[in-house]
Amino acid sequence: MTDPTPGSSVSVEEAARFLGVREEEVADLADGDGRVPLEGLRSRAGSAAIALELARAREEAGRLSGQLKEVRASNARLQRELKESVSERRRLTDEVLELRAAAEERLMLMERIEQMARIEQDLNESSSELERLRNRRLLGRLLNR
């Protein structure tokens, strides 16, 4: 069966080259003369284009899925690090508060020591004055006799 319109069909070899597939895959489109009608070729090319586009979409979906997994893993890692840093911050804050309390206690002790030193100095001065007064009385008694 020949096509009435010349050039409205191509050889199986040409059809395979147009579609970018092996000749065996195009052979089922060929007529009895071993020629592939252009309409069948167009139909197959449309299907091939759709299949190619679908393959690209699947590839893109796979790539995006991989990226999503990486982002999720990164997100989980960052959340762990954030949790650890919050814990570390709390620990450091507690430590600073303890140090501040210790510093305040030390300051109060230093103030008490200074106060005690003043009292001791006053006591020494008073003792010296008292001793001087006692010595004067003793001198006064000695001189009066």
The mean pLDDT of 35-55, rounded to a whole number, is 79
For residue 94, pLDDT over 70 is answered with yes
CA distance 21 to 13: 10
Mean pLDDT of the chain: 87
Quote the tokens at residue 57: 């979409």
pTM value is 0.46
pLDDT per position as a tens digit, 2-22: 444 556 888 888 888 877 788
Confidence tier at 1 by pLDDT (50, 70, 90):
very low
In eight-state DSSP terms, residue 9 is E
For residue 119, pLDDT over 80 is answered with yes
pLDDT at 3: 45
**In which residue are the tokens 């597939």 written?**
21
Cα 82 to the center of its chain, rounded Å: 7
Percent of the chain exceeding pLDDT 90 equals: 50
- Poorest-pLDDT segment among 67-71, 111-115, 132-136: 132-136
Domain residue ranges in the chain:
9-144
Q: How many CB atoms lie within 10 A of CB 135?
A: 10
CA distance 138 to 134: 6
Rounded (10°) CA dihedral 115, 116, 117, 119: 90
**In which residue are the tokens 């949790």 written?**
83
Going from the C-alpha of 32 to that of each of 4, 27, 29, 39, 96, the distances in angstroms are 14, 10, 10, 16, 93
38 CB burial (10 A radius; 0-12, 13-18, 19+):
middle
pLDDT at 76: 97
For residue 71, pLDDT over 90 is answered with yes
The mean pLDDT of 96-114, rounded to a whole number, is 97
pLDDT at 42: 79
For residue 32, pLDDT over 50 is answered with yes
